[in-house]
Amino acid sequence: MSNPGYHSISRRSVVRTGSLLLGALVSESIGATRVSAQSGSSSESEPESEAEPEAESEPEPDFQARLYGNDFYPAARFRVVSSSLEYKPAVSVQEGETFLGDLYWSDYDTRLIRYENTQERVLFFPPFEADLDQETTYRTDRIQSTDELADGIVRIGFHRASSSTA
């Protein structure tokens, strides 16, 4: 039974269309997450004290970055000790969707940092917009989420460290 006026659709065109839609959804999701996390916005109808009760004790981080989870130390002071490196961790994507890996890291730089207390050097993936200075000391905040596409990578907050805190 053939239906006049209808065209058959190949599996390849369905897969290609699905990949493009997935890429658009991932990029929109990453962008929305980044914007909402950086703005720290809460519902306008809720009073601030009820929406974020811990906001008084802990300031919002200045920036967010990616880091290997086993290299994370909470409230640790660090300095950036390298310029930009040409390295991006592998991202788990299906064959033919390598553009998702590129999209996943497109807004992030790769740098080396050195923790001040242990002198340990680790890879650090800040957003390009963070504009990090090698003369400035920073402090890690907390793990904000784990990344599902890159094994072992977590998203953390970090601040410029004030000179009055140890």
pLDDT in tens, 81-140: 999 999 988 887 777 777 777 788 889 999 999 999 999 999 999 999 998 999 999 999
136/133 Cα distance (integer angstroms): 5
All residues at 6 or more sequence positions from 48 whose CB lies less than 8 Å from its CB, including other chains: 42, 55
| Helix ranges restricted to H, the chain | 11-39, 48-51, 98-105
Distances (CA, A) of 40 to 13, 62, 94, 109, 160: 40, 11, 33, 23, 18
Of the candidates 28, 34, 15, 23, the residue with the CA atom closest to the CA atom of residue 128: 34
> Do β-strands 77-80 and 137-146 pair in parallel, antiparallel, or remain unpaired?
antiparallel
pLDDT in tens, 9-66: 555 555 565 666 566 555 555 554 444 444 444 444 444 444 444 444 566 888 999 9
